[in-house]
Structure 1
Amino acid sequence: MEKRKLGRTNLDVSVIGFGGIPIQRVGKELSHELLQEAYNRGINFIDTARGYNESESLIGEALEKIGRDKFILATKSMKRDYNGMTEELNTSLKSLKTSHIDLFQFHNIRTLEELDFIMSENGAFKALEEAKEKEIIKEIGITSHSPEILDKAIDTGKFSTIQCPYNPVERQAEELFKKAKDMNIGVIVMKPLAGGAITKGELSLRFIVDNPNISVVIPGMDTLDQVKSNTEVGINIRKLTEEEGSILSEEANSLGTEFCRRCGYCLPCPQKIDIPTQFLMEGYYTRYNLKEWAQSRYDAMEYRAIHCIECGLCETRCPYNLPIRKMMKNVVEKLG
């Protein structure tokens, strides 16, 4: 497996990492088998999160058997305040059955105001800085669907890594990745298959790893066949042929006008609906086979697609001219 430097962390990470979202649905025995096979085939980087239900716990139990030292371990939290982040970090350490976490990330920073708050006196960054001083965590990272927010974040000089969606459909972060590489900041790619919308998985992964500014890509895996096919991309790196590139471009183009890139420009909604998250949950429900997980999170939202009054303001803001009102109706049909 090809290894790349994770920016200034100086950690050598496998170019294919293990995305921890789908492991929550497979149970203890298969979780162990998946991570053991991943290790056997050269993966040394795991990404999970507090919000992925049992993911941290299943990974922690598997690492007890395989060996904690075999992997570079990354997790993340949605907490924005000092006390909340301190509590989440302690929970992660317990769930992952470890004394330290290699990379702890701020999960899904969605606005510049959120970024400002986490960096404030009572913000969560202070909690992670203190944990880093105690060597409880080694590095601090940040994830977002917005290249603009990540661009501002790396300008602070406080983050060792960034994590952002990137695939043949979502290429808006390419300039950001180049800037991050020049600043010696590690680049982690999530959503390599665009939330499951891209069916040509091998081609998409090959497209991603061909970008020299990327450190590691983290496809989610819940079968041994997926582990084998995904790791093969990092073991035998091959450029796309002209024909393969055309096939991939054709599929990317076929997603066309009704594919949400989660840029957030449609917000704020007058009805307080988090519009991109509606489409994200619908994607998890229909494409990731995480029906129960997506449904529970959708149901827990106070303002959902069902509350859309079809005012159309969001459509005037969308840089991709998406038919958001029509797409919201589709969410209602799937999730209620």
Structure 2
Amino acid sequence: MMHYRRFGRTELPMPVLSCGGMRYQYQWQDASPEKIPPESQRNLEAVIRRSLESGINHIETARGYGTSEMQLGWILPKLPRERLIVQTKVSPKPDPAEFRRDFEKSLKYLQLDHVDLLGLHGINTPELLEYSIRPGGCLEVAQELQKEGKVRFIGFSTHAPTDVIVNAIATDKFDYVNLHWYYINQLNWRAIEAATRHDMGVFIISPSDKGGKLYDPPQKLVDLCSPISPIVFNNLFCLSHPQVHTLSLGASKPTDFDEHLQTLDLLDRWDEIVPPILEKLEKTSIEALGEDWLKTWNQGLPNPEDTPNNINIPIILWLRNLAIAYDMIEYGKMRYNLLGNGGHWFPGQNAATIDQVDLSHCLKNSPHADKIPQLLRETHQLLGGQSVPRLSKS
């Protein structure tokens, strides 16, 4: 049976699993209705019906997800509106009038008179935060839409550094936040704590894909998470924290819910299931990488913008850690080869130019400055390969 949590000050009863809408659509660009294959629409409608049958009544999409909104608009009006929590997201723009036009297009595609949740999509940089919160900016437009009855609650989604997220939360102008936080990347816990203080809803983005490609895990990770799967472990890990309200499941077909739904019967017993797995994972990483490295590897590392050729040293070393400790090579390749193509969604470059730069100055505060250049070379050899475009560009 589905569990529900109060979604912060919205007071919405949010299912602990949400139906994310970035993988079941026909394509990543808008298309005319006649271009949508019937089988694509049948699949999307089967996903939505399976979601609702499972108690997952939060349907999440975005203006930036190509045909997702249009295709949802062909089924949502057929469903009982009072049962649905519908969220879309619109990217902040320098021109707030463009933001309004984009939202109106979203609402028209969805064939609804309002959305329950509107997220400012991708507040990933201080500049985008400024576009959002400055007088007359996109947030004010969202608040006008709220007064017009077209939006119930306003939030934001983010791939930003934690400080930017915390600054956005500190405005106290948002009702909820969509952010990244899961077992392999817990850096945003400070932002979740801030959201909790402001009584905001907390939605975790992509815990199974960005959270480790857990639908295709290496055998080593499978063994470490036994007797449950890596997906169920990660779900339990996240939901064992009451500050987290829902996890996004980017379903591309109806059966994608099945493994996640196994989480529900175990949720009340997380405290006996999760700790032994955490102990195995920590022990394995210490054996593979050394305790001193694990405690100190990220100390004093520069941001990409402060590094020659914008090499993203923290991300590269983090991916190396996962690859060596847990055999997460394929996940590492997926993320590593996105560097250079991710824009502000995944900033910085990979280590292809490591032999052309001097990192001594930017690494002066790192206790591992002497060995990091060689580790970057080794990681490039391990994970480097064909360039990977952002999903929305593929």
Q: TM-score range by the shorter chain?
A: 0.7 to 0.9
CA distance in 2, matches of 1:276, 1:136: 41
2:73 counterpart SS class: helix
Pairing 1:149–2:149 present: no
> Of the candidates 86, 90, 93, which is equivalent to residue 80 of structure 1?
93
Pairing 1:227–2:260 present: no
The equivalent residue for 1:42 is 55
Measure how far apart 1:175 and its partner are: 3.1
Measure how far apart 1:236 and its partner are: 4.5
Measure how far apart 1:251 and its partner are: 8.1
> Of the candidates 193, 214, 217, which is equivalent to residue 178 of structure 1?
193
The equivalent residue for 1:64 is 77
CA distance in 1, matches of 2:136, 2:162: 25
The equivalent residue for 1:169 is 184
CA deviation profile, 1:198-226 (whole Å, cap 9, x unmatched)? 43111101111111101111121123232
Q: Which has the larger radius of gyration?
A: 2
* Contact 1:74–1:101 (8 Å) recurs in 2: yes
> Of the candidates 212, 215, 218, which is equivalent to residue 242 of structure 2?
212
* Contact 2:47–2:252 (8 Å) recurs in 1: yes
Pairing 1:197–2:213 present: yes
CA distance in 1, matches of 2:44, 2:104: 23
> Of the candidates 148, 169, 176, which is equivalent to residue 134 of structure 1?
148
2:112 counterpart SS class: coil
Pairing 1:18–2:40 present: no
Pairing 1:265–2:303 present: yes
Measure how far apart 1:109 and its partner are: 1.5
The equivalent residue for 1:95 is 109
When residues 102 and 268 of structure 1 are mapped into structure 2, their CA distance, relative to the original with a 3 A threshold, is farther
CA distance in 2, matches of 1:161, 1:47: 13
The equivalent residue for 1:51 is 64
In the alignment, structure 2 segments of 5+ residues that lack a partner are 27-38, 218-229, 320-329, 389-394
Measure how far apart 1:245 and its partner are: 3.1
AA partner of residue 197 (structure 1)? K
Measure how far apart 1:102 and its partner are: 1.0
When residues 328 and 176 of structure 1 are mapped into structure 2, their CA distance, relative to the original with a 3 A threshold, is same
The equivalent residue for 1:6 is 7
Measure how far apart 1:157 and its partner are: 1.1
Measure how far apart 1:112 and its partner are: 2.2
CA distance in 2, matches of 1:152, 1:122: 19
- Which deviates more, 154-163 or 323-332? 323-332
* Contact 1:93–1:100 (8 Å) recurs in 2: yes
CA distance in 2, matches of 1:32, 1:162: 27
CA distance in 2, matches of 1:113, 1:161: 20
CA distance in 2, matches of 1:101, 1:268: 40
The equivalent residue for 2:125 is 111
The equivalent residue for 1:335 is 387
When residues 326 and 144 of structure 1 are mapped into structure 2, their CA distance, relative to the original with a 3 A threshold, is farther
AA partner of residue 34 (structure 1)? V
CA distance in 2, matches of 1:264, 1:52: 33
CA deviation profile, 1:270-317 (whole Å, cap 9, x unmatched)? 66799999999xxxxx76xx9xxx8xx779x9x996996443659749
1:334 counterpart SS class: coil
CA distance in 2, matches of 1:317, 1:2: 49
CA deviation profile, 1:6-41 (whole Å, cap 9, x unmatched)? 111111110111122211258211111111111111
* Contact 2:204–2:247 (8 Å) recurs in 1: yes
**Percent pairwise identity:** 21
* Contact 1:20–1:48 (8 Å) recurs in 2: yes
AA partner of residue 91 (structure 1)? K
| 1:238-317 superposed matches below 5 A | 238-239=269-270, 240-246=273-279, 249=282, 265-267=303-305, 309-310=353-354, 311=357, 316=363
AA partner of residue 155 (structure 1)? A
Equivalenced residues, count: 323
CA distance in 1, matches of 2:288, 2:45: 35
TM-score by length of 1: 0.79
2:47 counterpart SS class: helix
CA distance in 2, matches of 1:235, 1:60: 33
* Contact 2:114–2:149 (8 Å) recurs in 1: yes
The equivalent residue for 1:283 is none
